[in-house]
Structure 1
Amino acid sequence: MSENPLVDGEISLRCVEKEDLTELYELIYSEDVPEWKQWDAPYYALEYESYEDFERSMLRRLETTQSNSDPDSIRIIELNGRIVGTISYYWEHRPSMWLEMGIVLYRSAQWGRGIGTRVLQMWSSHLFEQLPLARVGLTTWSGNERMMRSASKAGLQVEGRMRKCRIVDGKHYDSIRMGMLREEWEQMRSSDAGRNVNK
């Protein structure tokens, strides 16, 4: 059964439906060198796959989530009813309840408008509410300063920096591990609630 969408004003994080797959496929694969990929782990090549393979793997992922008690592992990011990206998580080490978040905004016109920050806040809150996590994490690279700013504004802190282990356009960059502890999230949530009461 599909979960309810997470909504914050004009932003909605909703479950992926089969009818979304054509548009998602276009957003990911319509260009040979998509602009979003220059920021989303560009040190890994975008592996082209046929629509049939994409559909099969996405449907398998959705079915797997629905067959267990976990929250959906991927949601569509909609802005005013239009698909602009995806937000997801994956288990880094399930026995430790250690997961990592990932976000992609495919439409560059939406970059730099605070959408990523709000989505990360919504998603991390959802994960803390649904799962007994001690922390949520996110990994990026030092060349993606927008991602680091968004994550920081959403409450994540730099927890680790592996120096000069990513190469983009012939230049070395650091791998950046960021995270937020449950107690930090709870403190942020109570601060937000206090501000709303005082309005």
Structure 2
Amino acid sequence: MKETPIIEGDLVLRCIEEADLPELYQLIYSEEVPEWKQWDAPYFPLEHESYTQYSQGIMKWIEASATSSNPISMRIVEVKGQIIGTISYYWEHQQSLWLEMGIVLYRSTTWSKGVGTRALQLWSSHLFNHLSIARVGLTTWSGNERMMRAATKAGLQVEGRMRKCRIVEGKHYDSIRMGMLREEWEQLSSPRV
């Protein structure tokens, strides 16, 4: 089932289509060590795969998402008609409705311009509107200060800090758990009088 795009001005969160796969593949795999990967969980290596493997995996995921009763779990982040990244959610523990979201902006020219904050706000609202969840979370690392700022501006707050459990370029960093409760989202979403 194809879902309606989420649109705010020039920012669009839309379903991935087969025609998007060549561009997404290029954004993810065109460089041996892409700049975006230095910020998106750099402690996990990027597993390079062929275009065929990548496209088959995504198409399988798209087909599985189409039969789920939950909202589609990944969308393209597009600004002014250009694909700049992806935003997603996953179940940390579905039985207890523990949901985490994530965002990757592949094009560094879009960083530090508020796009990530706006996308996280739209996405968290979409998730609260379409799922019976009490909170939405996001996990990052203390070296990714841009992500922490964007999440904070989007209404999430630090809920946990696991100290010195991530190593990047030989240096220890903290793992940061952030989250927003439904009532906090409702307060942020309510019209101001």
* TM-score category (smaller protein): over 0.9
1:67 maps to which residue? 67
Is 2:192 aligned against 1:194?
Answer: yes
Q: Report the alpha carbon displacement of residue 63 of structure 1 after superposing the two structures with TM.
A: 1.1
User: Which runs of structure 1 show a deviation greater than 4 angstroms over 4 or more consecutive aligned residues?
Assistant: none
Q: Out of 31-40 and 57-66, give the one that drifted further.
A: 57-66
Distance 1:85 1:68 in 2: 23
Q: Which residues of 2 match residues 6-45 of structure 1 at below 5 A? A: 6-45=6-45
The residue number in structure 1 matching 2:112 is: 112
Question: What CA distance in whole angstroms lies between the structure 1 residues aligned with 2:60 and 2:101?
Answer: 20
SS at match of 1:177: strand
Structure 1 unaligned segments of length 5 or more: list them: none
Matches within 5 A, 1:131-146: 131-146=131-146
Q: What letter is aligned with 1:129?
A: N
Q: Identify the residue that residue 87 of structure 2 maps to in structure 1.
A: 87
Instruction: Give distance in 1, aligned partners of 2:163 and 2:60.
Output: 36
| Matches for 1:123-162 after TM superposition, within 5 Å | 123-162=123-162
TM-score w.r.t. the length of structure 1 is 0.96
Distance 2:68 2:40 in 1: 29
| Unaligned segments of structure 2, at least 5 residues | none
Question: Percent identity over the alignment?
Answer: 67
Please state whether the residue corresponding to 1:132 is helix, strand or coil: coil
Q: Tell me the distance in 1 between the aligned counterparts of 2:56 and 2:64.
A: 12
> What residue is the counterpart of 1:179 in the other structure?
179
Q: What is the alpha-carbon distance in structure 2 between the residues aligned to residue 140 and residue 134 of structure 1?
A: 20
Cα shift at 1:108: 0.2
By how many angstroms is 1:167 displaced?
0.2
CA RMSD, Structure 1 to Structure 2 (Å): 0.7
- Mean Cα displacement is larger for which, 117-126 or 61-70? 61-70
Q: Residue 166 of structure 2 aligns with which residue?
A: 166
1:184 counterpart letter in structure 2: E
Tell me, in whole angstroms, the C-alpha distance in 2 between the residues paired with 1:94 and 1:62: 20
* Number of equivalences: 193
Range with bigger deviation, 55-64 or 122-131: 55-64
Normalised by the length of structure 2, the TM-score is: 0.99
Aligned to 1:103: 103
Q: Which amino acid aligns with 2:71?
A: P
